[in-house]
Structure 1
């Protein structure tokens, strides 16, 4: 028998009010780009999750009274983890959009071999993708995008309260379709530079057919590279409006996952 101070009902109430929000917040912080990067130690992310849980718990609706050791508690825990990962994936797609766009441009202009290790993800990416990643990270922090993302995430405790119902089949299907949005947006972002470099390559191809004795490859490669860098410099003038639009679409999608019109 547990003493009156630590009864089974009291333990279940603690689990519902603190542990379930902690699972959702911790899974969200483990996935999002800046706080979930490998550069941030797991202890720091866990500390941020605990601090956010302490601040968020007084503002969210009360959790249902469920036995802490029952099957329903396990289902609710898995639902909280799924919600946190789903909302974090929506934000991660915003970063991967620019990484894919940088890979498309780099492969077209001949910079695909110039790759470096991305310290955030631990994989090799082209240098251009790394430049885009640093640029959008600085823009995201300068525009207080992390505060907006956390605000949208905290709203999920009211729109998707703790319980047996989570994202559901429709939410998981929307997350799967978000991958196609990521690739389509990356293609639209990289299309001007890719098209410009393609025109240069076609021009040198025509020159090769007209004068086969000329070594067009040794001449066309550096010119295509220089023209690609010029196209990237021109596109940077509209980089901020594109990022604002994609960030706005990401926040709208996070609210759409929560069932907010």
Structure 2
């Protein structure tokens, strides 16, 4: 055997720790985050992107612990890196789901709850209004370089959340507790439209009690739909300010998750 090609166990373990362990965290994030982690991007492309990011980031990362290629310690470290990557990706998903929830609420209030379409990103059926808000927030996220911020947070996580730092059970409970934030943010996004539609429905109710012979219900549904679309269109004028506020909170929380505390 050529002595130049002979590799020791220590060298193999160093390569495993230096390249494979960061690769698992990066790949887990790319597989679970919005936009890149959806069905619109093929799995092979996501893996290529994860390899490219790993090659670029590894030279500047802190030294990873050397482990044996096939051992219980390596499996535990791989599981830790996968969970950290999925946790960060799921935390970013919560920000996007706030707009999906907002679209579902306003669609139900205006009578468009039955108008649903298949979401090509997730492969599920969602309200048309929710799909519109999802596409809008995706474009805003890319236009404001949100994906670059995510990569920056991911890079800093290898310093603030080093490899082998543990399973971080408290972080996962914090992510689960943020589901309430999703519902609250979605409600705040469409609260003016819901209030306006409530006033319209109350007006229809008063008219029905005052003049039952007018048969308000025959014109109430199409009129509510038209008024709801107009109110939704007017509400889009402030969508940028609301997006910046929610995006700032989500990205700040993402950075806090990438720390051991």
| TM-score for the superposition, normalised by structure 1 | 0.95
Q: Which runs of 4+ in 1 moved over 6 A?
A: none
> Shift of residue 210 of structure 1?
1.9
**Aligned to 1:106, what secondary structure does the other structure show?**
helix
Q: What is the aligned partner in structure 2 of residue 32 from structure 1?
A: 33
SS, match of residue 253 in structure 2: helix
1:45 Cα deviation (Å)?
0.3
**Residue in 1 that maps onto 2:249:** 249
Mapping of 1:1-20 within 5 angstroms? 5-20=6-21
Partner of 2:190: helix, strand, or coil?
helix
Contact 2:33 2:93 in 1 (8 A): yes
Aligned to 1:217: 217
Q: Is the 8 A contact 2:16 2:66 kept in 1?
A: no
Query: Matches of 2:60 and 2:254 in 1, distance apart?
Result: 20
Contact 1:30 1:45 (C-alpha < 8 Å) held by counterparts: yes
Aligned pairs for 1:148-163 within 5 A:
148-163=149-164
- Cα distance, 1:44 vs. partner? 0.3
CA offsets, 1:219-247, max 9 Å, x none? 11111111111111121111001111111
User: Any residues of structure 2 matched to 1:139-150 within 5 Å, and which?
Assistant: 139-150=140-151
Q: How many residues align?
A: 260
What is the TM-score of this pair, normalised by structure 2?
0.95
Does residue 107 in structure 1 map to residue 111 in structure 2? no
- 2:51 aligns with 50
Alpha-carbon distance, 1:212 to partner: 2.1
Query: What is the aligned partner in structure 1 of residue 188 from structure 2?
Result: 188
Question: 1:56-75 residue pairs with structure 2 within 5 A?
Answer: 56-75=57-76
CA distance in 2, matches of 1:47, 1:235: 40
Q: How does 1:67-146 map to 2 (within 5 A)?
A: 67-146=68-147
Q: Could you list the per-position Cα deviations for residues 31-83 of structure 1 after superposition, in whole angstroms to 9, with x for gaps in the alignment?
A: 11111110110000000000001001101111112223222211111110011
Decide whether the 8 Å contact of 1:116 with 1:126 is kept in 2.
yes
Q: Is 1:75–1:164's contact at 8 Å kept on the other side of the alignment?
A: no
> What is the alpha-carbon distance in structure 2 between the residues aligned to residue 40 and residue 79 of structure 1?
25
- Aligned partners of 1:11 and 1:80: how far apart in 2? 19
What's the RMSD between the two structures over aligned residues?
Answer: 1.7
CA distance in 2, matches of 1:17, 1:9: 12
Please give the secondary structure, in 2, of the residue aligned with 1:65: coil
1:194 to partner: Cα distance: 1.1
Measured in 1, the distance between the counterparts of 2:189 and 2:227 equals 17
Displacement, 1:164? 4.3
Distance in 2 of aligned mates of 1:140 and 1:257: 20
Mind listing any 5+ residue stretches in structure 1 that lack a counterpart?
none
